[in-house]
Amino acid sequence: NPDELLGRTYLGSNNSRGLYSVSAAGSMVLRMETVPNDLTPEECQELENIRRRKQELLADIQRLKDEIAEVTNEIENLDSTEERKNMQRNKQVAMGRKKFNMDPKKGIQFLIENDLLKNTCEDIAQFLYKGEGLNKTAIGDYLGER
């Protein structure tokens, strides 16, 4: 039965002690790993099992490294996306302040339309109270019209 041969290790001819394995396709494959001459067939089999497990673990380690690199890249992209959003928001707030200083009603309307300010008395009052970059006269004009 070929399935019984799969993965088993056999000694080479002339006692060369090279390892041969049966591949999934059923052909014998010479493994370039050398085996000390003083090992029993059972020890050779155990050595082959250890080497196979080592290759599996190395493949797992590489897969994990690749996953970590991919996640790190995604995190970096997320950070830069957040930075871009914040920069865009800050630009819009600055534009809203400029508009407010030229025409307070239009400035407030711009900020509300761009979801930078809620259309509540509390939020508008907080915006005016902070007054960052706002012309005091424009604040007075806005409050005078209210």
Helices (H), the chain: 2-5, 41-102, 104-113, 121-130, 136-145
Share of the chain above pLDDT 70, in %: 76
pLDDT for res 111: 95
**pLDDT above 80: residue 39:** yes
For residues 103-132, average pLDDT = 93
Q: Give 38's DSSP letter.
A: T
Taking the domains of the chain in order of start, what are their residue ranges? 39-144
pLDDT for res 13: 45
Three-state secondary structure along 41-67?
Answer: HHHHHHHHHHHHHHHHHHHHHHHHHHH
Which CATH code for domain 39-144? 1.10.220.20
Give residue-wise pLDDT tens across range 70-96.
999 988 888 788 888 899 999 999 999
pTM metric for this prediction: 0.48
**Angle between helix 121-130 and helix 104-113 axes, rounded to 10 deg:** 120
pLDDT for res 33: 58
**pLDDT above 90: residue 106:** yes
Mean pLDDT of the chain: 82
pLDDT for res 16: 45
Q: 47 with 39: CB under 8 angstroms?
A: yes
82's CB contacts (< 8 A; 6+ apart) are: none
Spatial separation of the C-alpha atoms in residues 74 and 99, rounded to whole Å: 37
**pLDDT above 60: residue 61:** yes
pLDDT for res 82: 83
